[in-house]
Amino acid sequence: MRERSANRQKLPEQTLQTEKLAELGRLTAGIAHEINNPLAVIAYAMELLRRDAELTPFQVEMAVRIEDEIERLKTLTESLLSFSSAREGCRRLVALNDLLEEVLRLIRFELQRQAVQLEMELGELPLVAADPNQVKQVVINLIMNAVQAMHGEGKITLRTAHRGDAVELAVSDTGPGIPENLRERIFTPFFTTKAEGEGTGLGLHICRNIVNEHGGTIVVESSPRGGATFKVCLPVAQ
């Protein structure tokens, strides 16, 4: 009887969750449309600049970064549209360490602005078959979550290692940690520990979907003494 009662209590919560997901599906189509339209204009403007202007080396570097961010934003809107369903994306052979270097070039200024210390311990890795923009999205999300958890000061450590038939990325921070009862809930949609208006509660859910779609796993470890480590494992390319 207790089990039946508990199941009945879960039904309203499950119904509410379904309704939230359905509403999100209706909203994201409009959001993606509004974002993709100006992105298309920006991309076309960059194409014209590259074609007609004589750019300095610094301007070329900035143009490449803009183009990379355009692609990342396109991937983000696609992820919002399909966060509850699997998709293949655009996969190729990827060197994870090189991808991390690309990400850090994009966000290094923000880390410095927040007075966050960054350490990297990169192992020798085989290639993985992945959509690089999706993996960048996961890495950026994990790093920026760590920055927010530490309230702008502390240390983030990125480690990579070859673990049998997988490569592992570990993102560790010196923040307050994650209570044990929340370590699974943080991956569910709409759940967030951030202040109202600071997060949608979708970031880690999308990260888990991306990693799962790549045949990998993502877990979090934390200690009562503080600090958290997110570990992402992706299968080695066959």
Query: Over 80: is that where the pLDDT of 163 sits?
Result: yes
Predicted pLDDT of residue 16: 56
Predicted pLDDT of residue 80: 57
Residues 6+ apart with CB under 8 A from 127: 93, 94, 95, 236, 237
Domain 94-235 bears CATH identifier 3.30.565.10: yes
Query: Over 70: is that where the pLDDT of 83 sits?
Result: no
Mean pLDDT, range 194-222, rounded to an integer: 78
Q: Which residues pair with 218 in a beta bridge?
A: 232
Mean pLDDT, range 189-205, rounded to an integer: 60
Query: Over 50: is that where the pLDDT of 197 sits?
Result: no
Using pLDDT thresholds of 50, 70 and 90, give the confidence band for residue 192. low
Predicted pLDDT of residue 105: 82
DSSP letter for 204, please.
Answer: H
Threshold 0.75, pTM exceeds: no
| C-alpha neighbours within 13 Å on the C-beta side of residue 212 | 13
Predicted pLDDT of residue 82: 56
SS (H, E, C) 67-135: HHHHHHHHHHHHHHHCCCCCCCCCCEEECHHHHHHHHHHHHHHHHHHCCEEEEEEECCCCCEEECHHHH
CA dist 40 → 45, 46, 66, 76, 188 (Å): 9, 10, 12, 14, 32
Q: pLDDT tens-digit profile of 40-65?
A: 888 888 888 888 778 888 888 888 88
What share of the chain has pLDDT > 90, as a percent? 29
Q: Which candidate, 46, 88, 97, 52, places its Cα nearest to that of 69?
A: 46
Give the residue extent of every domain in the chain: 2-81, 94-235
If you average pLDDT over every residue of the chain, what do you get? 79
**Residue scoring higher pLDDT (183 or 59):** 59
- What's the CATH fold of domain 2-81? Helix Hairpins (1.10.287)
